[in-house]
Chain A
Amino acid sequence: MSIEVLEVLKKTFADPGRQVKEWKQDTGGKAIGFLLTEVPEELIHAAGFFPFGICGGRARLEQAEAHLQSWACSYVRKGLAMAINGELDFLDGIIVPLTCDSTRLLPGIWKHNKPLPYMDSYRLPKQVERPSAKKYLFKELERIKYNLSAYRGKEITDEELKQSIRLYNSNRGLLRKLYNIHEHNPEAISNKDLYTVLGASMVIEREKLNRYLSELVATLEEQTKPPAGKKKTKLYISGTFINPPEVLDYLDESGGTVVGDDLKNGYRYIQDDVEEAGISPLESLVNRQLKKKPFAGYDVPSAPRRYNLVKASQQKKAQGVLFLHLKYCEPENYDYYDNLQALEQAGIPSMRIETEFGDTSLGQLQTRIHAFMEMVGGESNV
């Protein structure tokens, strides 16, 4: 089945910089990049800038070698390499969320090697259950809003922010619908296509995205016939990023279907909406951040990550969990053993795979995924 908008989104994902460059040419506007995860993009959008999610590109990791140790994770090395090789030259600015030590140190190194007119960091709180967090976060978002306003030379109004929030909520809602369609009927949209659309959604004009997604969801809802043939093996993916995208091909070809994930370029990106009514829009952004599920960046004592993982896997009736970790991602590694223990206690099988942006042996990856699928789903899958 070939759906036109799906093809457009696939093309966008394959060449992430194309749309933003066109947009800049047409509008004379500015683009602000951001690293994953947590950056309140709505603020960037409300200022009239093009929010561009940085998540892998063509640059070789060696291009960052002289500036970042090889034992920093490949996500930050790749980002820096892309900046250095000119692949991100369309960016006027960048916001880095300080989720770990590597992201905490990255902005200074970036600025030294490739200064941009606008550079900021998002210092999300690492404890979210005490009252101090809320008060602090409000001020931190106010600061970012102020800096963005200053950069464009005009204050971001509440009305602008509300509009952006509405648009983003709508996009997230549509993406969740898409995810849901995939979950219940993987024939309608494959693993690979689902995450391709998610990836595209970070690098496309958000108004356009809204139209594309509405069309895509409507078409899929209309066209979709009840699933035919063999049942697929349901998997939950936990970790950092869907990377490399080939992982999804290997799942598709071995009869696996992703029913849930907690990844930065996966469900975490679309999970939480921002309240539209009542309180000030900035306060709504604060609340969204604080109610988010914990991730490797910090745990929440009253609702620990490992139990969320077990609960989500059970709710989705996942037959197994695939840990997709980025090598040298410290926070993820610290969580792993306890996550594993929790899954084992719940009787859920799992496997961990470590990958790197731009440097993963695909053959081995394929073999391991096939073997795992066989183990959790039975032989019929492969």
Chain B
Amino acid sequence: MTFIVAKDLEKSYQVGEVMVTALKGVSFTIETSSFVSFIGPSGSGKTTLLNLIGCLDKPTSGSLTIGDTDIRSFNRRQSANFRGHSIGFIFQDFNLLPVLTVYENIEYPLLMVQNTPAAERKKRVTELLEAVGMSSQSSKYPDQISGGQKQRVAVARALVTNPKLVLADEPTANLDHETAYRVLELMKKMRDELQTTFIFSTHDQKIVGEAEILYTLEDGKLISRQVKGEAHHA
């Protein structure tokens, strides 16, 4: 089932006197529950594209729909609501809140964004802690756990609200290869369990193999689309 449709997406930034065009007419479709990666060198427009899909930014031109919703029409508040209810975010620097424990970090979106009742929160957080293998560390603070563990917590935080889509901008850039590989395995496992659509970006050739659909970006343009594995065809 088609989930995301992007047509002729352009995004330009005004930098002083000059216009920098980060995306130059990007079109693609992404199916529900797929595991998609955008790969490309630094500056190729990966973050810009993920920001557009993540309703953090608006395209200069072109159209973008996520699950039949045209996200260009959103105002600030609608964008925030859409992000809070439909999208999970995983960041390159993990971005856990340092004053919250592992448990509380995972609970945050349920408590502070979705106002989920306490019993439901507890159930969800416990499930996710279990799923990412962090149950034993739940009362530790982020500065007491390793990078890989932090990213596991971040994966749990992104998934705790059961979003339709998880966006991860270079989620493994700050991890060693072994750990990066495990985090991707975890993401894939969660996709299999929850049927969530995962989109991540990377410039690391070594982990590219983990993606099932691979888009290559270069200088703001999509230059190739590769499909691996068997389950997902465009």
Q: Do A and B bind?
A: no
